[in-house]
Each structure stands twice: as C-alpha cells, then as structure tokens.
Amino acid sequence: MDIRRRALACVVVGLAALVPTISLAQVVSLRLATLVPKHSAYHQQLMELGEGWRSAQGSGARFMVFTDGSQGGEAEIVRRMRIGQLQGALVSVVGLREIEPSMAALQNLPLLFRDWGEIDYVREKLRPAMEQRMLEKGFVVIGWGDAGWVRFFSREAAFRPDDYKRMRFFAWGSEPEQQAIMKSLGYTPVPLETADILPAIQTGMISVVPSTPYFALASQIYGTASHMLEINWAPIVGALVITRRAWEDMSPAARAALRTQGEAAGMQMRRRARLEVDEAVGAMTQRGLKVNRPDTAQMREWQALAEQLHPKIRGTMVPAETFDEIFEHLRAYRATKGQRD
C-alpha cells in the first residue's frame, strides 16, 4: 500500500511540475510598435491582422500594438525588437536600414522616382534579396507598405532650394550621414525624434519638416508650418517585420495566416496611402494651408540639387551596389514605357 501511495504521489508531483511548462508553452505574445497614429487606417490594418493571427495561433495567443511612437523612434523600436521587448514593428526605411542598410535605397533617393508604378516595379525587383538579407539578420518581412510622398512643410513660403538654406530642417536623429550631406550643401539639419516635431516647429527650434501630407494633417504640424512645397521629393516606404525568434515560436498555421494577412495588409496600406496624399492636402488647404507650386525654372533647380545629392548618397546612405541596381531597374522599366532617364 505504501508503495502504491508513493508511486501515486510521484505521478501527481510530476504532473504538477508539467502544468506551468505546458501553460507557458501555449502563451505566444506578439507585441508590435509603430509611429502611426492610433485609430488611423494603418492601425486598423494591424489590428485586423492581429485578430487573424490570434485565431490561427489558438488559445493563449496575445496581440498588442503600440502606436504614436510610444515605444520610441524607429531606431529605438528596432533595438527593442533585438532585445525581445517587442516582437514586431511597422516601420519606414528609417527603421529598416537599422537592420539592413540596402533598404535605404527605396526611400533615400530624392526626385528619382516619377510615380508609384516605378516604385512598385523596383521594390518587387529588390524584394527577394532584401527579404533574404533581413532574414539572415534575424527578421522576417511579412508585408510592404508606403505612406505617400514627402513634401516640405515650412513656417514661411519657399519655392527654390536656396530659399531653404536660411531655415532649420527636422532630420532623423538616427541618420548622421543625411545630416552630414545636408550640411555640406549649406542646409541646417536639427536631429530629433518624431515625437519632438510638433513642439519643435511650434517653438521655432525647426522651421521645415519633410513630411507626407497625411502625417502633417494627423500631427497638426501644418497649423504652424502652413506652407507646403508641392514636389514629390521621395516616397516613404516601409514594411511590417517580425523577429525571427517570434516567427519560429508560432505554430505553422499562425505563420501561414500572418504571411497571407501581412501581404494583404501591405497592399491595402499602399492603396490607401496613395489616395490620402490628395485627400490630406485638400483637408489642410480648407484649414489654411498654402500650397506653393514651383515653376519650370524652379523645378530645374530642384532636379539639379537631386543630381548633386545622388553621388553623395551612393556608398553612404545607400550601399553602392544597391544604388547601381536601382538605376538599372529604372532604366529597364522606363524603356518599356518609351521614357528617357
């Protein structure tokens, strides 16, 4: 009898020891961070994606999105993913290049892309190699998005490149190469994080913000920086990424759901962002924004500035090999359209 009791006690103790292990194994958390505003279309896409992932992952799966830069700027968000505080993020090239420098090629080449067709073509050509490099560095890309064209929002009217040399520019704190290039051309960058933009423009610490119209509207910076230069300086391109560790902790069904929904979310974000450029400008114009349109001679000055910038960017902000590859893809694409470089 004693033997039976001891054997039963051993079984009970053994099962008790297994309970927390089983419970912990079931809990898979997916914490994402982004700079996009809460309740925005981008946030809604992420929440829908999260619901699909939770359903596929099953009992115990937890999903959370931190919006509005509450986890820091994009460089800080990447750092938090690396140490396991976050498992994913929706970030622009500013954050992506912290992981893989070649990502900068999609966003940091001013006045290179003429329309969204060119951007889509080049992105799809570069995508397999970029996603493989990201994977090798511990991150899985599950969807690509964009957020519109960068325009210049300033406190006073400006039309020519030289008009901006007397102004102070917002610059990403994590991009010292960009700041060095700006200084070499006579411009004054002020390195800040996104959360600092509104108070900085209001106090006069900065007087120009390169921004998409949607962000300018959502953040209310146009209230102080009430002049917008209407040129498509560069696209804001981004991606939804998950750490490889988190990816491997998911069930096969959850990974498949995340792949499918990530691709769909990226397509929806791109479609919506392209509509929002004109919608946001229209809304801000009704509230006092002044749209400044360069004439033909002024546009030639901007194009000359871009051509002066490109050699400085090659090998610094954008790896030389990727820089050259983009120009090759663009030449091929334009040839099919009967266009010249």
What was the pLDDT predicted at 40?
Answer: 87
Is residue 93 domain-resident? yes
Q: Tell me the residue range of the domain where 165 lies.
A: 29-336
pLDDT tens-place string over residues 46-60: 999 999 999 999 988
Looking at the structure of the chain, the number of domains it has is: 1
24 lies in some domain: no
Q: Domain for residue 320, yes or no?
A: yes
Share of the chain above pLDDT 90, in %: 78
Per-residue pLDDT of 283-339, as tens digits, reads 999 999 999 999 999 999 999 999 999 999 999 999 999 999 999 999 999 999 877
- Sort strands 235-243 and 88-92 into parallel, antiparallel or unpaired: antiparallel
pTM, entire model: 0.84
Instruction: Classify residue 147: in a domain, yes or no.
Output: yes
Residue 22 lies in a domain: no
Q: What is the pLDDT of residue 3?
A: 44
**Position 242 pLDDT exceeds 70:** yes
Q: Which CATH number does the domain housing residue 33 bear?
A: 3.40.190.170
Question: What band does 176 get if pLDDT is binned at 50, 70 and 90?
Answer: confident
Where are the alpha helices (H) located in the chain, listed in sequence order? 2-26, 41-57, 74-82, 93-99, 116-136, 176-184, 197-203, 213-219, 244-249, 252-286, 296-313, 320-336
Per-residue confidence (pLDDT) for residue 231, from 0 to 100 = 95
Does residue 15 form part of some domain? no
Q: What number of other Cβ atoms are within 10 A of residue 161's Cβ?
A: 18
The answer to whether residue 154 is domain-embedded is yes
More confident residue, 5 or 267: 267
Q: What per-residue confidence (pLDDT) applies to 17? A: 42
Contact status, residue 110 vs residue 233, Cβ threshold 8 Å: yes
